[in-house]
Amino acid sequence: MKIFTDTFIFCLSTILLFSGNSINAFSYDYSATTKCLVEPQRAQYGGGIIVNPDFNSSLEGWTADRLGEVEEGVSKAGNRFIVVHNTTHPLDSLSQKVQLEKGNLYSFSAWVKISEGGETVSVVFRTTDGELVHGGKVIAEQGCWSLLKGGIVANFSSPVEIGFQTQNTKVEIWIDSVSLQPFTKKQWRSHQEQSIDKVRKSKMSFQITTTANKTAMQGAVVSIKQLKSDFPFGCGMNHNILKYTDYQTWFASRFKVTTFTNEMKWYSTEKIRGRENYTVSDAMLKFAKQHGISVRGHNIFWDDPKYQPDWVKSLSPEHLRKAAAKRINSVVSRYRGQLIAWDVVNENLHFSFFEDKLGENASSEFFSTAQKLDPNTIMFMNEYNTIEYSCDEKASAVNYREKLQEILQYPGNEGIIAGIGLQGRFGSGQPNLAYMRSSLDILGSTGLPIWLTEVNAADGPNQAQYLEEILREGYCHPAVQGIVMFSGPEIAGFKNMSLADTNWKNTPAGDVVDKLLGEWESVTMEVTADDTGFVDALLFHGDYSVTVQHPETNSSATLSFRLTKDVPQATIDVRI
């Protein structure tokens, strides 16, 4: 077997070091989630709590007493694995019982292969009362090994049985390198912080010298102030922003990116056929521009039949095609070049209103048209439950990736600037961060930008705590390039997850958001140069203003710079 390098940040990383004036480049490698290998890699974390993860001791630790046949296999390279075949039920497979401890997060992985075609293989955790908890899935292929990733959060201390599932019982499933690694919440948080330091920050060095002879200026004071964060962390906005000045002040003082919750949707801009009205969305966009707030376009179409304009629902396919063409041309042309993104088709994994009436390529055609109308704006799918719920197979990360590939491979769509929109509408229970991370890994393998687009945590006693966990998990992942919450002040109608009450006092969720806004930016700092004239600082990405002053000579200099992920390390020479 090949060696699979363990890392406690859950992401394979490569550090490339360059000398001179060049920089350190840090990159994450998701190739294991996409490559189909001739030989499987070794079990992550040595298998964690799995007994005999690589099957080098035959079936020790494993159970194969259900219907079907289980036998050992050996590759030409000498690798041992297990083959399950002749099953009659999707859950007939190899299994192992493990003990889960309440409060821990468990990262799962395994390498799987099938005898023919391409089939979905899932990992399933069976509790003592018979409940099945899906922990992840992969589309396995014939002739090569694929990585199945997932996880589970333990809300109880109890044994569970880990098994594998496929709906096609006629194929053989080959299994190897199984791993289940537990982490405490403290360990998980530590991993997040390590990842944030690598992904969201860069090391800056300032060399302070004299203008005359380039002599190092020991004792020079360097004041570093961040003017703007490079990471878009924002909040949804609705029409009430036009009515309440307090809402305007509250929003503009915190956020620099937003999504209009309903005001750009078709049912808002054309309630009556032929009578378009963009008055509200135009005014909201004007407010956003005045305050330097970037706007995501949400949405061009919504594939849920329930959320079509009433007059659209009864249209014939011919008339719907004409109405849809008018809609996309109208809204995209109106806001061309003014938005940072378009949610082209909302929730087209769960629903298929347009596909059912206009054909299976409806979403692909909409993407093609939107990109031609607004060629420099990122075009997103936007879906729920991809990171929130492992039991929703329709919206799993592998299905999402497959649908997006289908859209991008449609004739003429090869050059589309595409993005991955994940709503992040979590329930009131403990979020499964292990599953969330594995889903982000799978979608991160596309190389496309990921945004969490409608984040909230349902009302409940631990809402603020769970919101913080979700936001930290999204922020620490290198593939995530922006986060927008669907929440706001109670006076604007945000009742499920209010950030401020009717007196503009923070709710617990609001306290979390303000804390993270402060935590995810560099505080203004003053640092004194050492005897070589150097000052080092680890800074969040963004725009900065720097003032350098020497207390004895009264000489000074000011400069500004922009720090991005493309510059993980740099040195600036400052002469005063």
H helix or E strand, kind and range, residue 345: strand 341-346
As a whole number of angstroms, the distance between CA 88 and CA 414 comes to 42
DSSP strand pairing (498-500 vs 294-302): unpaired
* DSSP letters spanning 255-309: -SEEEESSTTSHHHH-SBTTB---HHHHHHHHHHHHTT-EEEEEEEEE--GGGS-
Q: Which helix (H) or strand (E) holds 334?
A: helix 317-334
- Please give the Cα distance from 171 to 165 (Å, whole number): 11
Residues carrying an active site annotation: 347, 454
**By the 8 A CB rule, do 491 and 502 touch?**
yes
- 267-296 burial, b if ≥16 CB within 10 A, otherwise e? ebbbeeeeebebebbeebbebbeeeebbbb
User: Cβ distance 524 to 273 under 8 Å?
Assistant: no
**Among 369, 439, 365, which residue's Cα sits nearest to residue 401?**
439
Strand ranges in 12-104 using DSSP code E only, listed in sequence order = 12-16, 25-29, 69-74, 80-85, 95-100
Residue type, 145: W
17, 148 in Cβ contact below 8 A?
Answer: no
Q: Which two tokens stand for residue 357?
A: 């009436």
Q: Which amino acid is at 442?
A: I
Phi, then psi, of 267 in degrees rounded to 5: -70, -15
Residue pair 512/480 in contact by the 8 Å Cβ criterion: no
Q: How many CA atoms lie within 13 A of 533 on its CB side?
A: 18
Residue 563 dihedral angles phi and psi, to the nearest 5° = -110, 125
- 301 CB-near residues (< 8 Å, 6+ apart): 266, 324, 327, 328, 344, 345, 346, 354, 366
Which tokens in the block code for residue 72?
Answer: 């050992």
Burial class of residue 416 in the structure, from the number of CB atoms within 10 Å of its CB (0-12 exposed, 13-18 middle, 19+ buried) = buried
